[in-house]
Amino acid sequence: EAAEWANVAGETPWTADAQTFTEMKDRLVKFVNKGRLGIFGNGYWGNQSYKLTPAQNLVAITHYFQALEIQRDLGQMMTIFGGKDPHPQSLVVGGVTSIIDIKDPAKRQLFKDLALRVRAFIKGAYMPDMYMLANM
């Protein structure tokens, strides 16, 4: 399912291996079996407005959890030049005040690598998911 929608989006899927989805399914089963569903306990299950297939739901929740990891990468990118995240005090209009990190080639390369990873996630997971949802 993930590969299909990535192809529609014209991208390489972020996650296409069955093992990743199997692990997420097992993780969700453990969560449900604990019986402590919190806000998910009173859903309108069976409502006709729920149009995603089980496979599509699995793709969406897997990408949601992976997006949390990507959010961590974005925070790390902010700290490379801003010193902290959230609310960095060293980013100013026109540049940053942490010149030492800007001059460090390793820090610049790390920033670039993280940016490319974020971009790959957006193009390979987020955009295909939007195509999947728009098709409902």
Question: Quick check: 81 pLDDT over 70?
Answer: yes
Q: pTM score, two decimals?
A: 0.78
Among 3, 12, 17, smallest CA distance to 123 is for 12
pLDDT value of position 87: 65
pLDDT value of position 88: 63
Residue 38, both tokens: 């919190």
pLDDT value of position 113: 97
Domains of the chain, residue spans: 2-38+51-134
